[in-house]
């Protein structure tokens, strides 16, 4: 890629990370009063209806049949897998604890990029990625597993499925375009997600706070749609492995949101771990 295109990729990727940083705190707000299954399918349905309208207004051509398999894998990772597993996890752990797990996401995304799409980062890249992942796992062992092994296990599943969805979507974005990829993923998911939304719809809304509805709205519009427009475009421009390392910055922004909006306790250890993984992004970026 030309240097100017790669630079644009880093800018688009950074904007995507900023938007995604509010996802787990917003999900935490939502699942306090709402069923996590409802949150999962409702966010996909709301975003799917927006995507359908955008595709129709833009008169976009349907994707080729050869792309349907990749779209299905992408949808499994980012429309179903990460939203569902993270929503379930946030019933057992705080958003601050879950955010630290995001330090594993760059390694997962890069690994799927190598396995599925033949990218070849330098050995030093894997060293920095592995150090960042080790810091995250070490934190989980020292802090998280003592409170909820189930919550941490669900977050690990969320990270793995999200990494798959990111890598597949980034590959498709090179030919389909960033916003088209997430739009088609959401649209092909609608026949399943929309009926399930009505199935899991709360019987009454009297006990549901405005904060919970606000959290659902954020993850539906920004986390599920707008953020992916920048994220997939960024990875298509700058490379899956390289741009994926920007996700190491996400815990830093996410912890700030968790502390400022949810008033959750952010320990000194959380800050140290987060600074450690941020340092790793600088090293991995150089050798990607």
Alpha helices in the chain (DSSP H): 3-20, 23-33, 36-58, 65-75, 82-89, 95-100, 105-117, 123-139, 149-176, 178-199, 210-218, 227-238, 240-244, 250-261, 268-287
Cβ contacts of 164 within 8 Å, gap of 6 or more: 73, 76, 77, 81, 108, 112
Cβ contacts of 198 within 8 Å, gap of 6 or more: none
Q: Check residue 52 and give its pLDDT.
A: 95
Q: How far apart are CA 254 and CA 21, in angstroms?
A: 5
Q: How far apart are CA 213 and CA 208, in angstroms?
A: 7
Domain locations along the chain: 3-287
Tell me how crowded residue 5 is: count the other CB atoms within 10 A of its CB: 11
Q: Check residue 144 and give its pLDDT.
A: 47
Torsion of CA 202, 206, 212, 217, to 10 degrees: 70
Q: Check residue 142 and give its pLDDT.
A: 67
Global pTM reads: 0.82
pLDDT per residue as tens digits for the range 197-233? 999 999 888 889 999 999 999 999 999 999 988 988 8
**DSSP states along 202-226:** -S--TT--HHHHHHHHHIIIIIIII
Taking a C-beta distance cutoff of 8 angstroms, is the pair 279, 127 a contact?
Answer: no
- Tens of each residue's pLDDT in the chain, 288 residues: 566 777 788 899 899 999 988 888 898 899 989 999 999 999 999 999 999 999 999 888 888 888 888 899 999 999 999 999 989 998 888 877 787 787 778 778 878 877 665 566 677 777 877 787 777 667 666 654 556 778 888 988 999 999 899 888 888 888 887 789 999 999 999 999 999 999 999 988 888 999 999 999 999 999 999 998 898 888 888 887 778 778 777 777 877 777 777 676 777 877 787 788 777 766 766 655
Q: How far apart are CA 211 and CA 201, in angstroms?
A: 17
């Amino acid at each position: 890629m030309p240097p100017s295109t790669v630079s644009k990729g880093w800018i688009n990727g950074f904007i995507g990370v900023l938007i995604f940083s509010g996802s787990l705190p917003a999900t935490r707000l939502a699942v306090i009063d709402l069923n996590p299954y409802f949150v999962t399918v409702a966010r996909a349905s709301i975003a799917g209806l927006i995507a359908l309208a955008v595709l129709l207004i833009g008169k976009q051509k349907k994707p080729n049949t050869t792309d349907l398999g990749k779209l299905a894998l992408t949808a499994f990772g980012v429309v179903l897998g990460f939203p569902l597993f993270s929503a379930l996890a946030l019933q057992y752990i705080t958003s601050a604890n879950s955010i630290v797990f995001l330090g594993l996401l760059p390694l997962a995304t890069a690994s799927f990029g190598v396995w599925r799409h033949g990218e070849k980062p330098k050995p030093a890249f894997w060293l920095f990625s592995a150090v960042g992942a080790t810091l995250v796992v070490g934190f989980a062992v020292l802090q998280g597993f003592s409170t909820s092994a189930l919550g941490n296990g669900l977050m690990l599943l969320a990270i793995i499925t999200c990494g798959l969805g990111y890598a597949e979507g980034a590959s498709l974005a090179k030919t389909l375009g960033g916003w088209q990829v997430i739009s088609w993923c959401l649209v092909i998911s609608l026949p399943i997600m929309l009926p399930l939304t009505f199935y899991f719809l709360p019987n009454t809304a009297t006990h549901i706070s405005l904060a919970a509805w606000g959290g659902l709205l954020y993850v539906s519009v920004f986390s599920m749609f707008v953020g992916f427009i920048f994220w997939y475009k960024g990875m298509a421009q700058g490379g899956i492995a390289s741009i994926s390392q920007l996700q190491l910055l996400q815990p830093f922004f996410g912890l700030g949101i968790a502390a400022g909006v949810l008033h959750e306790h952010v320990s000194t250890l959380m800050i140290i771990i987060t600074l450690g993984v941020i340092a790793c992004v600088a090293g991995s970026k150089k050798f990607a």
